[in-house]
A and B are shown apart, each in its own frame.
Chain A
Amino acid sequence: QLQLQESGPGLVKPSETLSLTCTVSGGSISSSSYYWGWIRQPPGKGLEWIGNIYYSGSTYYNSSLKSRVTISVDTSKNQFSLKLSSVTAADTAVYYCARPTYGDYRLDNWGQGTLVTVSS
């Protein structure tokens, strides 16, 4: 049974960099059948896609966040990570990691989500 688990600080100061890691268990992050992705959800609002990464390191980012986002993968640890720079209160959200399927990009497995609050 594939499981994804987000980890990282729950509080980040404005202008700093948000850093989260997603640990994948029960499956290999090096599978050619899947991407690995990040999605966020501000309190009381809808889902916003942040970006995807393939095990080879190829990345795809939401154009509205592209200048501030970096997603990386560590196949040796079966983990992938998100960095979002220059955060503001508008970046306060529940951040989910998920697994998009190669080809149709459906998100068939999600982590439980982690709330990140941007505040001084």
Chain B
Amino acid sequence: SYELTQPLSVSVALGQTARITCGGNKIGSKNVHWYQQQPGQAPVLVIYRDSIRPSGIPERFSGSNSGNTATLTISRAQAGDEADYYCQVWDSSTAGVVFGGGTKLTVL
């Protein structure tokens, strides 16, 4: 089955740029979606199809995807960006949704 690998945690200084990676075999050939989950809340879609921001998501959030790594980039990190972030793809070989293990972002 297809696996997505994320770092358990990422730290970023207030106002700096955070990058969260999502690794998978030839992930560049798949559509990658990213979710933000605040404590006690449902996940929220922040990037879809690698790099598209849904309406209402700040321009500070961006994404890229190539080769074996997809990346979520959060510019000018704010305290409110502290959350868990999950990447997700559709695995056509198993006809299933696959999530990464999640990354906890800490803003220092």
Contacts and interface: CB of A to CB of B under 8 A. Distances in A.
Contacts of A46: 86, 99-102
Contacts of B99: 46-49
A39 B43 CA distance: 11
A63 B86 contact: no
The DSSP consensus for interface residues of chain A is: strand
A107 B33 contact: yes
Q: For chain B, which range describes its interface: under 10, 10 to 19, 20 to 34, or 35 or more residues?
A: 20 to 34
Interface string B65-108: 00000000000000000000010111000111111111000000
A1 B35 CA distance: 20
Nearest to A66: B96
Contact of B90 (A39, A61, A105): A105
Contact of B96 (A60, A108, A110, A112): A60
A106 B96 contact: no
Contact of A47 (B45, B94, B102): B102
Interface in A6-65: 37, 39, 46-49, 52, 60-63
A113 B40 CA distance: 9
A96 interface: yes
Q: For chain A, which range describes its interface: under 10, 10 to 19, 20 to 34, or 35 or more residues?
A: 20 to 34
B48 A108 contact: yes
B44 interface: yes
B102 A96 contact: no
Contacts of A63: 1, 94, 96
A47 B43 contact: yes
A104 B90 contact: yes
5 contacts: A46-B100, A61-B96, A105-B33, A105-B88, A107-B97
Interface of B: 1, 31, 33, 35, 41-45, 48-49, 54, 86, 88-90, 94-102
Given A46-B102, A96-B42, A106-B88, 8 more contacts: A37-B97, A46-B99, A49-B98, A49-B99, A60-B96, A104-B90, A110-B42, A112-B42
Nearest first, the 10 A-B pairs at minimum CB distance are A49-B97, A105-B90, A110-B42, A106-B48, A46-B102, A106-B33, A47-B99, A104-B31, A60-B95, A46-B101
